[in-house]
Structures are given as C-alpha cells and as structure tokens.
Chain A
Amino acid sequence: MASEAVAAFAPTDRRRRVKANLLVICAAIALILALIPLVAVFGYVFVNGIRSMLSLDFLIQDPPADLSATGGGVRNALVGTLEMTGLATLIAVPIALGMAVFAVEVGGRLAQAARFLIDVLAGLPSIVVGIFIYTSVVVTQGHFSGLAGSLALAIVMLPVVTVSAEEILRLTPRPIAEGARALGLTRWRAIMSVFVPVGLSGIITGILLGVSRAIGETAPLIFTSLGNNFFTLDLNQPMQALPLLIYRNALNSAFDAARDRAFGAALLLILIVLGFNLAGRWLTARRRLAGSSR
C-alpha cells in the first residue's frame, strides 16, 4: 500500500516541471515589461513636476498672462477641470445608469440598438466629440464655454459608465434577483433597492473609470471650453482645464517656466486621478465591511 502511495506521489517528470517554470518566468517578464512604461512615465512626471507642486502658490494662483514668465499657478485650470468634470459626471451618470438598467431589465431591440451605438461612441475619437459639441453648442451659442466643455466630457464619459454599469447589473446573482422578484417587488423597486446596492462597488468603480477618462481629455475641450488665463466659475465663459493648460504650456516648453508649469500640472492631474481611485476603493471597501460583518 505504502509503496503504491509513494508511486502515486512520485515527482513530476522533469520536462513538465521545466515547462511549468518557464510559463511562470514568461508571465513575470511580461509583467515587468508592462510596468516599465507606467513607472517610467510616473517617475519622469514626478521628478519634473514636483518642484512646481512644492509651492502652495501653484494651487492658489492663476498663471501669468505671459506663459514664459515665472511664478503663478494653475488655480483656474484646477477649478475648471473639477467643475467641468463634475458637471459632466452629473450629466452622464444618470443617463448611463438609466441606459444600463434599460438594457438589462427591459432588453429587446431598442436596448440592442442602444448598446451598439454606445459601443460606437466608445470607439469614437474624442476630438470628434469636440467637433460635434462645437457645431451644435458653441456655434449655436456664439461663444466657447465651460458648459460646452462639460457636455463634451459627458459624452466621452457616457459609454465607459454605461458599459461597466450594464456588466455589473448583469452580474447580479440570480438567487438575489429572483428573490426580489418573488417578493413581489416592482421592477423599479428591485433595481433601486436591491440590484444597484448589491452592485454599488462595481458601479462606483465604473463611474471613477469614466471620471478618470474624462478628466484627462484634451481634444474635446479645445473647441468647446477653449481655455483662458483667468479664474472663472461661470460655465458660460470659456474655461481653463488642466489638460488644456498642459497642452498650451508644453507647446512653449522652450521656456523653463512653461515647461515646469506643464509638468507640475501633469503631476497634479495624475494625483487627482489617483486620489479618486483610492477614494472609490476606500468607499466600497468600507461599504462591504458594513454589509456583511462576518
């Protein structure tokens, strides 16, 4: 008996072990290759941008009228980015959630058509979105505005949030979904009180993905919010944004001041996105703990 057991557990033959190890090594190499650009970009931006970021003025002052002049900050761009992205989120998220709920709960041809269009929208170059808003809003209104920028960003955000919310709602465990139906809850009630809470962490992650995507967009803003050098909260005015500021200053990077400002703003943008992601993780982790205190 014992010898049979020993035979059953005999070492795997050499070739199999080598093959298995080879696979692990290949995967490790791929991982390192994938990490190189990530670390390199972040490191480069960090090293070049941290100098500007170290001064508080960078956050609370507006840039000088002359890009080549030293001093000043990116306050107008920071506020503009937060305001336009915030408004875009307020516009896009309800529409995206509505479409996701429709697709999952109602379905049918209309939902399929909507899903197809959303996929097309996701693949649309963002500059096309900018041109669309330019012709439909900017030209109609007669001027560039933060509102136009928000609308453009909302369109960029829409497919990202819709697709992820739809996936999450589809993943509602069947026993939970059937449990809600068997309790005679209306469709609407089941979605709002059961399915959305159950999928909330995934939905928030999807919204954050959309925000992260929109917040870094430059192309849709060029013809819509245009950017300016002044501080404004007025969505009817042209509005500056961090990516626009980076773009303008980077174009003038022959001047050290402009170059530093661009790197500082880039680092700030990365930190904002990072902050959103961490906040989202923290929120959903906390919720999950509260949900099941096992």
Chain B
Amino acid sequence: MTTRSEDPLLAVETPQMTASVADPGGVPGARPEPAAGSARPPTEVAMTVRDLSAWYGQRRAVREISLDIDARAITAIIGPSGSGKSTLLRCLDRMHEVVPGARSSGQVLYQGVDIYDPMIEPAAVRRTIGMVFQQPNPFPTMTIYDNVAAPARFNGVVKGKAAEDDLVQRCLTRAALWNEVKDKLRHGGTSLSGGQQQRLCIARALALEPKVLLMDEPCSALDPVATLQVEELMSHLKADYTIVIVTHNMQQASRVSDTTAFLTMGEDRAGYLVEVGPTSEIFTSPKQQLTEDYISGRFG
C-alpha cells in the first residue's frame, strides 16, 4: 500500500488540474480531451474541487482532494467504506458543515465561484446544487404534490396555483413517477413504495431547477427493479444536469457513469483520491494498482 500524504498519484492523474489552477478565474470552458481518449466530445467542467480537506471534529475524513466534475455527465465516486465518498459529496453543496463540529478547507468552484466564499449563502448553494440521499426522505406530513411543490414555493421558484400544477407534473414526469402517482397526488408522500419515494425525492430536488444533482448512494435502500428505474432516470437526466453519484456498487458505477473517481482510506484514516478518469478506463485499464485491486475485488 503506497499511501503518502504528498501523493505522487494525485500529481500523475490530474494534468488538467494544473491547467485550471493556472487559470485564476477558474472560468469553466472546454478542456482538452484526456490523452488516453475515449471517443467522447470535449466536455465542459461544471465544478472544480481544489485541495479539499474535511474534518469531523479532530478527525480528518477527506484529505486534499482535487477533481474536475464534467457538466451534463455522470461522475461516480467509488471506494471502500470510510474512504470519505459521502463526505466529499456533502462538501459539494455545503451539507458537510451541517454536522456539528464538521469543517472543511480548500475550494469548491462552481462556474468559477468558490461556494465557500464568505459572501455566499449556504442555502443558495443548495438550491443550485440539489441532493438526493441514501434513505428516501419525503416529508411525511406533506402530500405527494406538496413534497414537490412546497420547497419550490418556499424558495420562490413558482408563484400561483397554475404554475405549481405545471411544475409538479413536469418534475414528476421528469422523475418517471407521474404515471404512477397522477391519480393520488393528495396522498401522503410516505404512502409510496421505497423506489417511488426515492423518485419523489428526485422530483422534489428537480423542482428547484438545480444545475447539479448530488446523489448519495441513492439506490442502496432500493430493490433491483427500483434501482434499475433510478439508473435509467439518471441516464435521461444527464442531458440537462450534472450528476455526481456516490455508490458502493461498482457495477452501478460502470453502468451509469461517464467518469469515475476512486477514493480510498489512507494510513491516517482520511480518504484521498487515488485516481479519476473515464469510467471505461478506470474499469478496464486503471493506472493505479490500488484501483485495480479494488475493482477486481481484492480489497474493500
């Protein structure tokens, strides 16, 4: 196990990082196709993570991660338990700091703006960068309709009944749930099955018209059929949204994602980035031995 804090791996795998660091504005733009090119067209960077570290109290959970997240693509974060996948994800919409005693350092740029800038309000970040959780969490006291409409109403995304009706139908359709619930919009949000609840939560997140969707193991509480539905949904959504998904399931990562980032836990028990690249490459010809060991099931 080669786990050093000034990790040579990081330097090796992020040539484009150096390029974007050199560009102080951090303005998103076309970036050069990765050298070992798959046939993907040049992509736009939606978010850039720079030297991100995160702590829970004294314990560092994530160490110095730098990473580009492509726009309108699915980025999967994989790695063993304790490698900081969820923590990294939660740093991307400032949900990490909600945990008492949690803090982070480094930068997370969205369209060139550091979301940790003191002038930036966390709630505003979270409206632009939506999140779907491991456990489906529709609001239990709200109807299906209100689960989608209420947060949008509170945030001023919609005004008026007609606009709300329209939004609810649009988002539920987007989340591939409309046909199943259109006749029971006034039922409780928790009356649905687990898979339906998760799609309801996706619809609820979409109702705020976010640009990025963060998904924290969204299928781990779902059965295989519901998992497949959510995966198909993600494939449709990536036409319009930037999606980052944390998953334990490597098959899922290889099925749905365009880019895969592999994290593991270092000797200091903090997670660090081992390798990031096009999913096809990570799963067929990873550059790092650690990655290969993990994806071939030798550890983790």
Contact = CB atoms under 8 A, between A and B. Distances in A.
The answer to whether A binds B is yes
A181 B124 CA distance: 11
Contacts, number: 76
A179 B125 CA distance: 14
A172 to B, nearest CB: 11
Contacts of A186: 123, 154
B126 interface: yes
B36 interface: no
A293 B205 CA distance: 23
Nearest to B155: A184
Interface string B58-70: 0000000000000
Given A184-B127, A185-B151, A198-B141, A178 B98 contact: yes
Interface string B127-157: 1001101010101111000000011001100
A176 interface: yes
B140 A198 contact: yes
Contacts of B98: 178, 181
B126 A178 contact: no
A186 B190 CA distance: 23
Contact of B95 (A182, A197, A290): A182
B208 interface: yes
B188 A183 contact: no
A194 B189 CA distance: 13
Interface string B108-132: 0000000000000001111100110
Q: Is the interface of A mostly helix, strand, loop or mixed?
A: helix
Residue among A181, A197, A287 having the largest count of chain B Cβ atoms under 10 Å:
A181
Contacts of A198: 139-141
A292 B130 contact: no
Nearest to A189: B154
Interface of B: 93, 95, 98, 123-127, 130-131, 133, 135, 137, 139-142, 150-151, 154-155, 187-188, 190-191, 201, 204-205, 208
Interface of A: 173, 175-176, 178-186, 189, 193-194, 197-198, 200, 287, 290-294
